[in-house]
A and B are shown apart, each in its own frame.
Chain A
Amino acid sequence: NAGVMQNPRHLVRRRGQEARLRCSPMKGHSHVYWYRQLPEEGLKFMVYLQKENIIDESGMPKERFSAEFPKEGPSILRIQQVVRGDSAAYFCASSPFEARQGNEQFFGPGTRLTVL
């Protein structure tokens, strides 16, 4: 049973470019979460999605960031016009049931984004 998959593992972008981060949840998991880990900091929640629905995006920056989890295919975290402050590790997690039930979230290996 494959774990949560994220790609790419490392992504380098120049300021102003777009970054697309992909996350394939574990088989059978329909709940996806994105977290960001800035250098020397803990993880901060960004967004919680179910298939075709954004449930909670309270942690998403108001501009340039968007996320989707289509009916088919991986979840995508999109960052437009990246700036150096976007450089961070972005982690995706999935769970089989609604997180409010306290189910553990299984994390992917992360995507390290570097903005030059």
Chain B
Amino acid sequence: AQKVTQAQTEISVVEKEDVTLDCVYETRDTTYYLFWYKQPPSGELVFLIRRNSFDEQNEISGRYSWNFQKSTSSFNFTITASQVVDSAVYFCALSEARTTDSWGKLQFGAGTQVVVTP
């Protein structure tokens, strides 16, 4: 079963618009970690943020912000005032800390392609 769902396949915006990426996860663990990674056209994976299940404090870092809501099992990510360089595929990932057969492996969503045009 898919544990991380990124329902948006592709989002296209014009530069300076805000873009919000949705991520819904599923786990029975009480302790888990959520991540966002970025994959630009060059192909490498860039770590953006990690949140543990006990830290629902939302955060803003520059143009990035995150909204973690355990009640809805969502971990959404927003880029404010998007730029062309933000064009990439963004992956949400889940790491379950206590499930023996998971051993902390990252379980990725299918990714959301963000296209920012000038």
Spell out A's residues near B (CB within 8 Å).
Answer: 33, 35, 41-45, 48, 55-56, 58-59, 89, 91, 93, 98-102, 104-110, 112
| B residues lining the A interface (CB < 8 Å) | 32-33, 35, 37, 43-47, 50, 52, 91, 95, 97-98, 101-111
A109-B44 contact in complex given A42-B111, A43-B91, C-beta closer than 8 Å: yes
Partner of B45, one of A41, A98, A102, A107: A107
Enumerate chain A residues within 8 angstroms of B103, measured Cβ to Cβ: 48, 55-56, 99-100
Residues of B within 8 A of A106 (CB): 47
Which one of B37, B101, B106 lies within 8 Å of A33 (CB-CB)?
B106
B33 near A102 (CB under 8 angstroms)?
A: yes
Nearest CB of B to A109, in Å? 5
Report whether A109 and B43 are in contact in the complex, using a CB–CB cutoff of 8 Å. yes
Residue of B35, B50, B106 with most partner-chain A CB within 10 A: B106
Whether the pair A100, B98 counts as a contact (CB closer than 8 A) is: yes
> Could you tell me the distance in whole angstroms from the C-beta of B6 to the nearest C-beta in chain A?
8
- Give the distance in Å from the alpha carbon of A42 to the alpha carbon of B94 in the complex: 13
Q: Which residues of A sit under 8 angstroms from B44, Cβ to Cβ?
A: 107-110
